[in-house]
Structure 1
Amino acid sequence: MKQHLKESVRKFKLGRKWVFQIDNDPKHTSKVVVKWLKDNKVKVLEWPSQSPDLNPIDYLKKCVRARRPTNLTQLHQLCQEEWAKIHPTYCGKLVEGFMKRLTQVKQFKGNATKY
């Protein structure tokens, strides 16, 4: 992070009002990382770890996994095929239901919900 985070902020022209999102993986929440983020005044977004309820890409992962790709080329091809199958109305429903999912995730303190 020391080498790349600030460089990425400059490269993407994020200015001063950006928030860093991490997935709460232990390597991202270690004492040394937390201290570095605090010392460098990096604002971190609170986010439950492994939260499929807030990650619509999990639908794509589930479809691809069901087709059992056996190599990287096949994985790439299946991702493209499954992506192309996703109808825009499905995406609209995900957006419409986001607040409800967000409320449940908050209620369950980041643990699994019915979604």
Structure 2
Amino acid sequence: MNNRVLVWRQPGEEWTPSCLNPGCGSRLSLMIWGCIPYESVGTFTVVTCNINDLKYIEIVDHFVWPVTFCIARHFPDDNYIYQDDNAPVHRANSVKEYMEKHQLHGMEWPAQSPDLNITENMWRKIKLELQKQTHNITTKSQMETAIRNIWTNIPVEFIRKLVVRFQDV
């Protein structure tokens, strides 16, 4: 179901308030950063400002390190890969230096390749689930709550399939 609203109206009534969707013309959006380890959905935060290199490093400090300590248990030889979404800020020299200093092992991969990106596939799943709820969401707070609920209920099997599919490429 695509949540379309159909309205029966007479000719000339297309702009009558009773024939309009109350949410028509308004669009809510949130910038979200999430960490997706193999074992679970990981940490999640709403970002309320533009992300530059310093903000990105701050996010990694606050939201990746708690997950990294858990990951280290599963990868004692440090043979894990930190994958980002290839945004330009992730390629800033200060970010590269930070990642190297803290031994967050990243990888080089082609830009504009969402099929190779676990993150993009995860966001697609979240967006599809969120679309089913748009009729109940009128504020950013409601949107955040809905996304958090979707996020925490994504099955670990789905995440593992993405990881395995990525490894096979």
Q: Normalising by the residue count of structure 2, what TM-score does the alignment of the two structures yield? A: 0.35
| Higher fraction of helix | 1
Q: Normalising by the residue count of structure 1, what TM-score does the alignment of the two structures yield? A: 0.46
